[in-house]
Amino acid sequence: MPLWVQRVSNISLIARFHTSKSLPSYGPEAIWFTKVVCLLCFHHSQSLDVFTSDYFRQNLDPHIAFNVIHHINTNLNNPRLAFNFFKHTRVNLNLVHCIGTFNLLLRSLCQMGFHDSATLVFKYMKADGFLLDGSILESVVLALANAGKFGIAKEILISQAELGSDEGSFVVRPFVHNSLLSLLMKRNQVDEAVDFFKDHILRSERLFPDTCTFNIVIRGLCRVGGVDKAFEFFNDMGSFDCFPDLVTYNTLINGLCGVGQVDRARSLLRSLELQDGYSPDVVTYTSVISGYCKLGRMDDAINLMDEMITYGITPTMVTFNILINGFGKIGDMFSAQNMYERMCAFGCPPDVVTFTSLIDGHCRTGDLDQGLRLWDEMNTRNLWPNLYTFSVLIGALSRENRLNEARELLRQLILRDDIVPQPFVYNPVLDGFCKAGNLNEANVIAAEMESKGCCHDKFTFTILILGHCMKGRMLEAMAIYDKMMSLGCAPDDITVSCLTSCLLKAGMAKEAYKVRLTSPKDLHSDLSSSKQSVPFRTRLDIPVAV
């Protein structure tokens, strides 16, 4: 035990403090009194009633309370005990703590994850009319936001800005509310972020937006398709002495392409080319090229790439991959191959996305064997196929009834620890084996899915139910249906109709009635409009990030 603890533990010493006059806030006497209080806090942490005497009420001032809380928090590393002491002295002793105590507690409680306690400290602080220190305010707001406590984080930021409206030196740095907005956007709370930006940041005298603030809001709105609203904020930037930069333009152009307004994006690109001080980069052009490719307007996409090269901007691997994928989607493999060769001529090495796009294009045009040759070429180049590469080939092999080859690829996929399988990869193989009448293999594949943590989706259940119905294995079909319902996976009308029809033919009217009774009232009819008896993802759009 440290020497000072032994000394303040001495009963006679404590008695001396009880009989002394009021202590000064500084000096040796105050230091010893602080140590006594710390010792009593430590030994009476479950109940702090020991501090209710008139003696403590008279001698415990804000400075000593700060030293006690600082010692408990720092040396004992116990912010919870420090908070309890703070709360007890404020509520029961009516002690008005100093700003240093509030700052210290808020920072330490947030760092330790005691956000509810920090919230209570802030409410006391607000009631006492104190302002947080700027750096403390920033750390507390960001800590609360990172913990998902957006409500209290915004309340602290807004209320402190309002309290500081008469203090000329109080200004919150933009990165604080920018970080808060970014976190809201990442959690897809776009409406909440926009309301906070519009109702508080733009209207506050102490929360100043900058170009980055506008970019965050514009990006979030574009991501959810709110391009027109994003343009409203874009047009208002000048009113707040903020001016768009290349990030702003790229975000808006990409957002326009995302909602299919490629011509409008092209016009914005032209206006950017004509402005002094701005120069579109490869990201700007690639966004519009991607938009044209998604619409199948490959001539426009090629012309824009040629224009980009004319301006001295070199296309990247991403640009070429988008064009190769675009040609593959429309079945123009001659142009896709030419673009591949052009890519190599520019010194851009092909990656897994390049080969996946080429494989997908050849499979779409019926040249599955060429797709398999490209698969082999990937291996010779030490390029590891990703989930979508497997999906393209497995789906194509299944459609060609080359089920054993598809099954072998599925086994290779299962052995890959770096890939998390998804139902859309398994479903084509399952459907193929069910249509071939090989339900035993289909059941094995379904079990493998679950063992890999790949949950069955609506199409998986539909494939298995219809497959067992067609083979007259009604009890198994009913068991699969019950499992589907227990997981909250709603069946389609084809599933219900086929299952009830087969149950009735098998003389299982009671079970058929149960299916009709338990099936959702509003069934979607998307299956009935499909030419395939069972829908599943047989094609995919290769996602290429710009």
Q: Per-residue pLDDT tens for 395-425?
A: 999 999 999 999 999 999 988 888 988 999 9
Q: Report residue 526's pLDDT band, with 50, 70 and 90 as the boundaries.
A: very low
Do residue 414 and residue 365 come from a single domain?
A: no
Query: Is 431 within a domain?
Result: yes
Query: Is 17 within a domain?
Result: no
The reported pLDDT for the residue numbered 137 is: 78
Do residue 451 and residue 390 come from a single domain?
A: yes
- Pairwise pLDDT comparison (41 vs 253), residue with the higher score: 253
In the predicted structure, residue 531 carries a pLDDT above the cut 70: no
Lowest mean pLDDT segment, chosen from 237-251, 329-343, 356-370, 500-514: 500-514
Considering the entire predicted model, what is its pTM?
A: 0.76
Residue where a domain terminates, one of 377, 406, 428: 377
Do residue 373 and residue 393 come from a single domain?
A: no
Residue where a domain terminates, one of 411, 440, 455: 455
Q: Report residue 164's pLDDT band, with 50, 70 and 90 as the boundaries.
A: low
Could you tell me the CA-to-CA distances from 372 to 388, 394, 405, 514 in Å, in that order? 14, 11, 11, 47
Do residue 488 and residue 509 come from a single domain?
A: yes
Do residue 437 and residue 475 come from a single domain?
A: no
Percent of the chain at pLDDT above 70?
82
Helices (H) and strands (E) in the chain, counts: 30, 0
- Report the chain's C-alpha Rg in angstroms: 34
Residues 436 and 424: their CA atoms lie apart, in Å, by: 19
- Pairwise pLDDT comparison (445 vs 22), residue with the higher score: 445
**Can you tell me the mean pLDDT for 423-448?**
94
**Can you tell me the mean pLDDT for 167-196?**
83
Query: Is 537 within a domain?
Result: no
Query: In the numeric block, which tokens belong to residue 213?
Result: 């603030």
In the predicted structure, residue 517 carries a pLDDT above the cut 80: yes
The reported pLDDT for the residue numbered 21 is: 42
Lowest mean pLDDT segment, chosen from 7-11, 151-155, 175-179: 7-11
Give me the phi and psi of 122, to 5 degrees please. -65, -40
Q: Are 496 and 516 in contact (CB under 8 A)?
A: yes
Q: How many domains does the chain have?
A: 3
The reported pLDDT for the residue numbered 238 is: 93
Do residue 399 and residue 450 come from a single domain?
A: yes
In the predicted structure, residue 507 carries a pLDDT above the cut 50: yes
In the predicted structure, residue 347 carries a pLDDT above the cut 90: yes
Q: Could you list the residue range(s) of the whole structural domain that residue 436 is in?
A: 386-455
In the predicted structure, residue 543 carries a pLDDT above the cut 70: no
User: How high is the mean pLDDT of the chain?
Assistant: 83
Do residue 322 and residue 366 come from a single domain?
A: yes
Residues 515 and 484: their CA atoms lie apart, in Å, by: 12
Query: Is 237 within a domain?
Result: no
Do residue 475 and residue 435 come from a single domain?
A: no
In the predicted structure, residue 82 carries a pLDDT above the cut 90: no
Query: Is 73 within a domain?
Result: no
In the predicted structure, residue 523 carries a pLDDT above the cut 70: no
Query: Is 481 within a domain?
Result: yes
Query: Is 259 within a domain?
Result: no
**Can you tell me the mean pLDDT for 247-258?**
96
Percent of the chain at pLDDT above 90?
50
Do residue 321 and residue 372 come from a single domain?
A: yes
**Can you tell me the mean pLDDT for 71-87?**
79
Do residue 418 and residue 479 come from a single domain?
A: no
Do residue 463 and residue 435 come from a single domain?
A: no
The reported pLDDT for the residue numbered 401 is: 94
- Pairwise pLDDT comparison (31 vs 288), residue with the higher score: 288
Query: Is 57 within a domain?
Result: no
Could you tell me the CA-to-CA distances from 303 to 260, 286, 344 in Å, in that order? 19, 12, 19
In the predicted structure, residue 39 carries a pLDDT above the cut 80: no
Do residue 417 and residue 471 come from a single domain?
A: no
The reported pLDDT for the residue numbered 89 is: 79
